[in-house]
Amino acid sequence: MAVPKRKMSRSNTRHRRSRWRAQAPRLVPVTIEGRTHRVPRRLARAYERGLLAPED
C-alpha cells in the first residue's frame, strides 16, 4: 500500500474527495413472467433465474 511521504493539507484532501461522484447503476431491460423490468446489469441474471424478485 502506498504511504504518503508528507502530510496532505486539509484543503487538498477535501478538494480531492469532492471530485468523487457516485454513479447511477446502468439499468437493462429484463423480461420476467411476460413483464419488462429495468434492473441493474450485474443483477440481470439473478432476476432471470428467479433468485431475486422484482419490487413492482
Rg (CA), the chain: 20
pLDDT of 6 over the 90 cut: yes
**Interatomic CA distance for residues 27 and 12, integer angstroms:** 35
Question: pLDDT value at position 39?
Answer: 92
Residue owning grid cell 419490487: 55
Of 30, 21, 22, 28, the residue nearest 54 (C-alpha): 30
pLDDT at 5 over 90: yes
pLDDT, one tens digit per residue, over 7-51 is 999 999 999 888 888 888 899 999 888 899 999 999 999 998 989
Query: What is the pLDDT confidence band of residue 56, given thresholds at 50, 70 and 90?
Result: low
CA distances for 25 relative to 20, 36, 38, 40, 47, angstroms: 16, 18, 11, 6, 16
